[in-house]
Amino acid sequence: MIRNSWYALGFSTEFQAGEPSGHTVCEQPMVAWRSADGEVGVFDARCAHKRFPMWDGKILEGDILQCPYHGFAYDLTGRCVDIPALRDRGDRLPSRARLYKYPSVEQGGIVWVWPGDPDLSTEHGPPPTSEIASEDWETGNTDPMPVAACARLLIENLLDLTHFYPLHSGNIGSRADAEVAIEIERTVENGIPVIATYRPRKDFTFPPMTRDRFGVEVGDQLQTHRMVGPAMFHVIIAVAPPGGLGTDQERSFVLYQTITPVDEENVVWRRSINTRKGSRWAKDPTRSLLDVLVETAPTVVGEDRWALEEQQTMFAYADGSFQEVHIKSDGPMMMGRRLLDELESAEQAAVG
């Protein structure tokens, strides 16, 4: 598990003033709350007194989070500012009574947290998600989806587009889709390692859901999937009639998918779908393209979730003589594995 990374704690809209929320990231319990001034703080969720989960606490006047067990209360720095049992001896508040405050930042419509070495959190910021907060784009964010599978399996699923057939054959995939050539590029952007895959199609017969979404039966498509560190995928889907990519005939959307590991066998998956303002559904121009994308996405995501959780159950068995067999089209997935191995090895070396 990679801890030295910015992970999405949630979309900005998930954090309301005066409402503490509980999270588990990289096996660490966290509580977050937004102040009246709009600042989101993220802390160790265990009360310093008796480990009571602070996500069950309540916000008092002055943005103070009070533990409901014995009343220990903490401000937005994590410092304990009140203990009812010492009300007449406030000068004796224990200096060690505080909640650890995690490095966090709210950027591009997402609250990010750094669960690893805090000294490394300043080396680079979270990945950009500019469309989510832009007035030129319409955004539809999903609810957080818990998946009973490790983060690596989700990352490999998002890098491996050949599973569109047969897993998604009834909606976004076809056998011909599995045969599309893949171009791979590895770079570093703003200090974050990136693996980008490009899948261009020309004069391609689109599967049912793509035809319905964009109103094109045969045409061109460029599908870009970018793994941005271990915590996010940036996806761009562009579709057009033959020869229409890059012109006003092109129709597209941008998808951000955040990957937040809970522990070695669970992950939280969030998705943000973004379309340019005014984009309409080809089948019914009275409806926005975003609405249709948001409505139809759960079918595809549900199939992925099923496959990931089924895979995870197989890790309970000893390998014995079993060995995975890989083929040429597994190149992006294998490159992703190597990248994650490098990040984990570097982290372990620094610790030990």
Is residue 58 one of the residues assigned to a domain?
A: yes
Beta strands in 37-136 (DSSP E): 40-44, 58-60, 64-66, 73-74, 80-82, 104-107, 110-113
Q: Looking at the structure, do residues 201 and 107 belong to the same domain, yes or no?
A: no
Q: Find the length of the chain.
A: 352
Q: Looking at the structure, do residues 38 and 172 belong to the same domain, yes or no?
A: no
The residue that leads in pLDDT, 169 or 178, is 169
Q: Residue 326: which CATH number?
A: 3.90.380.10
Q: Looking at the structure, do residues 276 and 200 belong to the same domain, yes or no?
A: yes
Q: Looking at the structure, do residues 61 and 151 belong to the same domain, yes or no?
A: no
- Give me the pLDDT at residue 266, please: 98
Q: How remote is the C-alpha of 136 from its chain's centroid?
A: 22
Is residue 161 one of the residues assigned to a domain?
A: yes
Tens-digit pLDDT profile for residues 211-233: 999 999 999 999 999 999 999 99
Is residue 26 one of the residues assigned to a domain?
A: yes
Tens-digit pLDDT profile for residues 57-99: 999 999 999 999 999 999 999 999 999 988 666 568 899 999 9
Is residue 88 one of the residues assigned to a domain?
A: yes
> What does the DSSP assignment read for 139-170?
EEEPPPEEESS-HHHHHHHHH-GGGHHHHTTT
Write down the mean pLDDT value for the chain: 95
End-of-domain residue from the set 120, 155, 185: 120
Total count of domains within the chain: 2
Domain that holds residue 76: 7-120
Is the pLDDT reported for residue 164 higher than 60? yes
What percent of the chain has pLDDT above 70? 99
Q: In the predicted model, what is the mean pLDDT of residues 142-149? A: 97
Phi and psi, residue 149, nearest 5°: -155, 155
Q: Looking at the structure, do residues 82 and 147 belong to the same domain, yes or no?
A: no
Q: Residue 23: which CATH number?
A: 2.102.10.10
Residue 235 burial class via C-beta count within 10 angstroms: exposed 0-12, middle 13-18, buried 19 and up: middle
Is the pLDDT reported for residue 179 higher than 90? no
């300043």: which residue's tokens?
A: 122
| Planar angle of CA 218, 223, 226, nearest 5 degrees | 175
pTM over 0.75: yes
End-of-domain residue from the set 86, 120, 154: 120
Q: Looking at the structure, do residues 83 and 137 belong to the same domain, yes or no?
A: no
Tens-digit pLDDT profile for residues 303-321: 999 999 999 999 999 999 9
Whether residue 242 is preceded by a cis peptide bond, meaning omega within 30 degrees of 0, is: no
Q: Residue 190: which pLDDT band, with cuts at 50, 70 and 90?
A: very high
Is residue 2 one of the residues assigned to a domain?
A: no
Contact partners, residue 72, CB within 8 Å, separation at least 6: 47, 48, 49, 66, 80, 82, 83, 97
Q: Looking at the structure, do residues 36 and 65 belong to the same domain, yes or no?
A: yes
End-of-domain residue from the set 72, 94, 120: 120
State how beta strands 104-107 and 110-113 pair: antiparallel
Q: Looking at the structure, do residues 165 and 260 belong to the same domain, yes or no?
A: yes
DSSP percent split of the chain into helix, strand, coil, nearest 5? 30, 35, 35
Residue 338 burial class via C-beta count within 10 angstroms: exposed 0-12, middle 13-18, buried 19 and up: exposed
State how beta strands 218-228 and 192-205 pair: antiparallel
Of 83, 85, 94, 100, the closest CA to residue 46 belongs to 100
Edge-to-edge order in the sheet of strand 7-11: 7-11, 110-113, 104-107
Of 228, 227, 232, 281, the closest CA to residue 253 belongs to 281
Is residue 1 one of the residues assigned to a domain?
A: no
Q: Looking at the structure, do residues 192 and 214 belong to the same domain, yes or no?
A: yes
Q: Looking at the structure, do residues 91 and 174 belong to the same domain, yes or no?
A: no
Is residue 236 one of the residues assigned to a domain?
A: yes
- Give me the pLDDT at residue 174, please: 86
Q: Looking at the structure, do residues 63 and 211 belong to the same domain, yes or no?
A: no
